[in-house]
Structure 1
Amino acid sequence: MTVHETTALGVPAKNASPEAYDFRRPTTLAREHARVLEMAFDTFARQWGTQLTAKVRVLSQVTSERVEILSYDEYAAGLPAVTGMVLFNIPKVEAKAVIQFPTAAALSWVGHMLGGTGQRVSPERKFTQIEQALLGRIMDDALDDLHYSLGTLLRAPMTPSSIQYNSQFAQAAASADPMIVATFEMVVGETVAPATVAIPSEALLPQLDPVGSAPSKTPPAELIRGQLAHVPVKVLLQLDDITVKPAMVLNLAVGDVLNLGHARHRPLNVTVGGRRLAHAAAGSSGSRLAGVIVSTEENNL
């Protein structure tokens, strides 16, 4: 199908070139899918920035800018001709994942790691063996952060494959293969550089697709009870409350005595959220005070 560019009023724009649309491949992410991925890559950005600060020993920050789905050809076309591309293998997926960044920026990171100023004095070029070894440590941390951030979205762990320097000849995937592409801004010291992470969509989308997930057979009420059972709550040991007039409260002074309605021999009230659930006698557990439950009450919560 051929799609023509239109104006805001829906009239075909003059001199607009038609653009082919392939209905077999989605060009946008579903809103709920995009939100999940954005949160995952935001987490990755924060983790990676922290790891870079520790490795490079200068203040570093990574910010996630956008997440989109592109064909590999579209992704590669948007990259500089000469750039650093670390390729990663994914089990049972032919296409490779990519972490991309300018080589000049990477060289400045290496300069910081070696005790230099990190100023970008070198042009875009290939890394030496020593530089590759140092960058390998940064990529190992980035890969760990990526696995942590994606969690169950990435079932199979990725492993490093190779480093490429030409975006047009890297061939991490077939031209039409859809890729989940996240774009970042990296600030390492005074160096600001763009970076991208591209992961084959077939490695992530199946975990995002609600149709592919088997519905739970457990009744919703049981699921809610199961979750509530693990929610922390405050348990209080209390005396019976008393009613006093505001004048007494306003005139309280050191040495005043309040007569409580709680008998001395009665156990304390065990309350949760203002509801009395049990009675407990004062006791001890080692060096700490404790409440020993002596009776419980029926409560229909």
Structure 2
Amino acid sequence: MTLLDNTTTSIPGKPARSVEVYDFLRPTTLAREHSRVLELGFETFARQWGTQLTAKVRVLSQVTCEQVVMTTYDEFAAGLPATTAMVLCPLEGSSAKAVIQFPSAAALGWVTHMLGGNHAQNLPERKFTPIEQALVRRLMDDALEDLRYSLGSLLVAPISVGGFQYNSQFAQAAAKSDLMIVASFEIRVGDAAAPATLAIPAEVLLPQLGDANPTSTTANARELVDAQLAAVPVDVSLRFVSAPILPNEILDLAVGDVLPLPHPAHRPLDVTIDGIAIGRAAVGANGSRLAGIIVTTEERLA
């Protein structure tokens, strides 16, 4: 079922409210378990990418993962600048491509450092020359290697650097309705910072994540419960026989009063768990500590 109403309604005296289309057959939200696994993977990728940039560019670099969301390719592309650098990365077995996006001006600054120059400010957003493209491709090859390492078993399809695109509206990496896992980053090279995004088709990653709420078989439920209960710590107490006492006696208690206990001197103390007697123990010692020596146990039906 799809909500088709995409109109903007307004009520006098209230701000206008926009109604967005939502396709229930293609939800665009990640399960919490999936989101956390992906965040950890992309955070690892960010650290690895920053290390690689530092080595290649020869300037202290840092990459920070800011957000991981799932959205359609159309929404992803619409949120990009009109002119930007997009590296299209084919994935084996998928018609959709992954996309690494960053400002071309930032990449030109990285190339300048790689060639021994100083990063110039206010570089233009333009296409790369063949030499610049070759250097950026080397950086992207290293980035994809870091991505494969960081995502591990989540990314099973071989991925490689394909072509470059500089207009986000013309890049046809996937169909408009295809779902993409989009990670947003901040890349800081020296004093210059730039935003970047990495979009991977959801169909490539989600199958490896499994069910959001996996269930276990109940065939051996009794054994599982017994095993769990056997590992749960419990408080064990040694208890005297209780003595009945009236409320007015309790209210009149004062320091130094003596309460007689009906516990026979020759009788062991009760060994109790949560008030239930499971045996009896005599008072003893274990080194410098008091201890209870079990003398009898009580069998109870399960």
The answer, yes or no, to whether TM exceeds 0.5 is yes
Q: Is the 8 A contact 1:104 1:120 kept in 2?
A: no
* Residue in structure 1 matched with residue 92 of structure 2 by the alignment: 91
CA-to-aligned-CA distance 1:165-218 (integer Å, 9 cap, x gap): 0000001000110000000001001111000000000000111122799979xx
* Residue in structure 2 matched with residue 196 of structure 1 by the alignment: 197
Which amino acid in the other structure matches residue 47 of structure 1? Q
User: d(CA) in 1 for partners of 2:181 and 2:138?
Assistant: 24
* Residue in structure 1 matched with residue 62 of structure 2 by the alignment: 61
* Residue in structure 1 matched with residue 174 of structure 2 by the alignment: 173
User: d(CA) in 2 for partners of 1:196 and 1:71?
Assistant: 14
5+ long unaligned stretches in structure 1: 7-11, 222-242, 244-301
Q: How does 1:39-58 map to 2 (within 5 A)?
A: 39-58=40-59
Q: How does 1:119-268 map to 2 (within 5 A)?
A: 119-210=120-211
User: d(CA) in 2 for partners of 1:112 and 1:4?
Assistant: 50
5+ long unaligned stretches in structure 2: 224-286, 288-302
* Residue in structure 1 matched with residue 228 of structure 2 by the alignment: none
Which secondary structure does the structure 2 equivalent of 1:109 belong to? helix
User: d(CA) in 2 for partners of 1:47 and 1:114?
Assistant: 22
Which secondary structure does the structure 2 equivalent of 1:174 belong to? coil
User: d(CA) in 2 for partners of 1:82 and 1:142?
Assistant: 22
Instruction: Summarize the Cα distance change of 1:20–1:53 in structure 2 as closer, same or farther, 3 Å threshold.
Output: same
Which amino acid in the other structure matches residue 80 of structure 1? P
User: d(CA) in 1 for partners of 2:142 and 2:181?
Assistant: 21
Which secondary structure does the structure 2 equivalent of 1:19 belong to? coil
Q: Is the 8 A contact 1:107 1:120 kept in 2?
A: no
CA-to-aligned-CA distance 1:140-169 (integer Å, 9 cap, x gap): 110000001110001111011100000000
Query: How many residues were matched structurally?
Result: 222
Which secondary structure does the structure 2 equivalent of 1:25 belong to? coil
User: d(CA) in 1 for partners of 2:14 and 2:153?
Assistant: 45
Aligned-pair CA distance for 1:4: 8.7
User: d(CA) in 1 for partners of 2:149 and 2:25?
Assistant: 32
User: d(CA) in 1 for partners of 2:121 and 2:144?
Assistant: 25
Instruction: Summarize the Cα distance change of 1:159–1:214 in structure 2 as closer, same or farther, 3 Å threshold.
Output: farther
Structure of higher CA gyration radius: 2
Which amino acid in the other structure matches residue 49 of structure 2? W
Aligned-pair CA distance for 1:13: 5.7
% identical aligned pairs:
63
Instruction: Summarize the Cα distance change of 1:38–1:4 in structure 2 as closer, same or farther, 3 Å threshold.
Output: farther
Which secondary structure does the structure 1 equivalent of 2:206 belong to? helix
Aligned-pair CA distance for 1:92: 1.2
CA-to-aligned-CA distance 1:63-89 (integer Å, 9 cap, x gap): 000000010010001000000000111
Which amino acid in the other structure matches residue 137 of structure 1? R
User: d(CA) in 2 for partners of 1:92 and 1:35?
Assistant: 26
Q: Is the 8 A contact 2:88 2:162 kept in 1?
A: yes
User: d(CA) in 1 for partners of 2:108 and 2:212?
Assistant: 45
Q: Is the 8 A contact 1:105 1:120 kept in 2?
A: no
Normalised to the residue count of structure 2, the TM-score between the two structures is 0.67
Instruction: Summarize the Cα distance change of 1:155–1:30 in structure 2 as closer, same or farther, 3 Å threshold.
Output: same
* Residue in structure 2 matched with residue 246 of structure 1 by the alignment: none
User: d(CA) in 2 for partners of 1:50 and 1:119?
Assistant: 22
* Residue in structure 2 matched with residue 256 of structure 1 by the alignment: none
